[in-house]
């Protein structure tokens, strides 16, 4: 038991000695690190901390003052020269304007640009299509004779989003020696009749043939839009956009174009031949562009009104355009009325109109 107590005492002294030895070592290490921090000569780098930036401070000598400039010597006043006689008024004005003329040469003014690039009063304020097809061109003058007044009824067949639709279409054409009026509608029938489009075109008949003044269009469940052909102001404007185009004469809207072609055919059938092309500015509901209409040739067609021979004319859209292709068949034996129309869209949808009834009428 004693030996056991002794051994316990020795173990206790050993543990106590080791404890003090550890404290001593920690104290020495702490002082060494403190000296390193203060002197900056030794240290224990850490792998987990970013190296600190070192700022060096240098003592600079005070700037040396620049030597003072020597005093200016006094000079004797020179003898005044004889007075210069005044220049003529014209020379004085030219000299005074000389610096301005030099500045104007380096920076062109608005007036200078107007002289180099004259602005035509008929230039459109906004052109949405900045290509050759949108630029106005002088319309050629053709021999023409508008068709007599009539009401034309059509059977309508359409493909829209993979579905077939059937309906009716009506053109009401009225004309005299000085003016015309054209109205129309297209409708489909499900359980009841739905009018999908209403349009009106009216204006004068002049040296260029059909001359629209107002074109209105009202698609189903949409507001009416108006296209104005301002003959006096030489401008075409739109209610659906801020674009304006110059009016030069001969421009058409999308409804009157086929009646202008019919008038040309009635004026002189020799103006129609396979390969002939007609270039006409055509205005829609928000812009205008040049249409190139090509005469394909004479074709036999079947309509609900009967079989007939008609001139096939084609308006193909420009490459890259999403506009529709328009095919028109004009029947000379029926006053060159449009006997058939076909609109083909870029996605493959189409709308066919085939003449089913023709009723001559008088201008109201």
Domain CATH for 157: 2.50.20
Say if 184 falls within a structural domain: yes
- Residue 29 in this model has a pLDDT that exceeds 60: no
Say if 122 falls within a structural domain: no
Q: Is 71 inside any structural domain?
A: no
- What is the per-residue pLDDT across 160-202, written as a single tens digit (0 to 9) for each? 888 999 999 999 999 999 999 999 999 988 788 888 899 999 9
Q: Is 309 among the domain residues? A: yes
Question: Which residue segment(s) compose the domain that 154 sits in?
Answer: 138-360
Is 155 part of any domain? yes
Task: Examine residue 256 and state whether it is found in any structural domain, yes or no.
Answer: yes
Model-level pTM? 0.62
Residue 332 has pLDDT above 90, yes or no: yes
In a domain? residue 278: yes
**217: in domain:** yes
Query: Given pLDDT bands bounded at 50, 70 and 90, which one contains residue 316?
Result: confident
Computed over every residue of the chain, the mean pLDDT equals: 74
Mean pLDDT in residue range 252-265 = 97
Please tell me the predicted confidence (pLDDT) of residue 116. 29
Q: Which ranges of the chain would DSSP assign to H, the alpha helix?
A: 2-39, 89-106, 110-116, 257-267
Specify the range with the lowest mean pLDDT, choosing from 106-115, 243-252, 304-313: 106-115
* Mean pLDDT, rounded, for 207-229: 96
Strands 350-360 and 277-283: unpaired
Which of 225, 208, 347, 343 lies closest to 286 in space, CA to CA? 225
Q: CA of 78: how far to CAs of 15, 67, 71, in Å?
A: 110, 31, 21
- Residue 327, pLDDT > 70, answer yes
Q: pLDDT digits over 82-134, tens only?
A: 444 444 443 333 333 334 433 333 333 333 333 322 333 333 333 334 444 44
**pLDDT-derived band of residue 30, with 50, 70 and 90 as boundaries?**
very low
Over residues 222-232, the mean pLDDT reads: 96
Contact (CB, 8 A) for 204 and 178? yes
Total number of domains constituting the chain: 1
- How many whole angstroms separate alpha carbon 226 and alpha carbon 206? 22
Instruction: Report the pLDDT averaged over residues 310-334.
Output: 89
């Amino acid at each position: 038991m004693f030996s056991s107590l002794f051994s316990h005492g020795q173990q206790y002294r050993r543990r106590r000695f080791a404890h003090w030895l550890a404290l001593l070592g920690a104290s020495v290490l702490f002082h060494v690190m403190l000296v390193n921090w203060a002197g900056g000569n030794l240290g224990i780098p850490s792998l987990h901390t970013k190296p600190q930036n070192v700022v060096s401070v240098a003592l600079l000598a005070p700037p040396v003052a620049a030597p003072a400039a020597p005093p200016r010597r006094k000079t004797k006043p020179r003898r005044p020269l004889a007075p210069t006689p005044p220049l003529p008024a014209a020379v004085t004005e030219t000299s005074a304007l000389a610096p301005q003329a030099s500045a104007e040469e380096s920076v062109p003014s608005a007036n200078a640009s107007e002289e180099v690039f004259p602005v035509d009063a008929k230039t459109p304020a906004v052109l949405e299509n900045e290509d050759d097809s949108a630029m106005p061109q002088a319309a050629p003058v053709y021999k023409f004779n508008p068709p007599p007044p009539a009401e034309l009824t059509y059977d309508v067949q359409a493909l829209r989003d993979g579905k077939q639709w059937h309906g009716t279409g009506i053109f009401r054409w009225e004309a005299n020696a000085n003016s015309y009026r054209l109205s129309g509608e297209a409708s489909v029938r499900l359980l009841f009749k739905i009018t999908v489009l209403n349009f009106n075109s009216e204006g004068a008949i002049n040296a260029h043939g059909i001359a629209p003044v107002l074109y209105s269009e009202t698609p189903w469940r949409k507001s009416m839009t108006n296209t104005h052909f301002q003959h006096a102001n030489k401008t075409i404007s739109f209610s659906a956009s801020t674009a304006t185009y110059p009016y030069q004469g001969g421009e058409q809207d999308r409804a009157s174009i086929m009646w202008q072609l019919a008038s040309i055919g009635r004026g002189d059938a020799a103006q129609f031949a396979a390969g002939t092309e007609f270039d006409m500015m055509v205005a829609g509901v928000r812009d205008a562009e040049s249409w190139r209409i090509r005469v394909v040739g004479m074709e036999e067609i079947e309509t609900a009104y009967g079989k007939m021979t008609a001139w096939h004319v084609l308006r193909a859209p420009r490459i890259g355009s999403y506009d529709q292709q328009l095919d028109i068949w004009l029947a000379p034996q029926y006053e060159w009325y449009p006997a058939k129309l076909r609109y083909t869209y870029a996605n493959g949808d189409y709308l066919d109109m085939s003449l089913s009834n023709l009723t001559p009428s008088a201008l109201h």
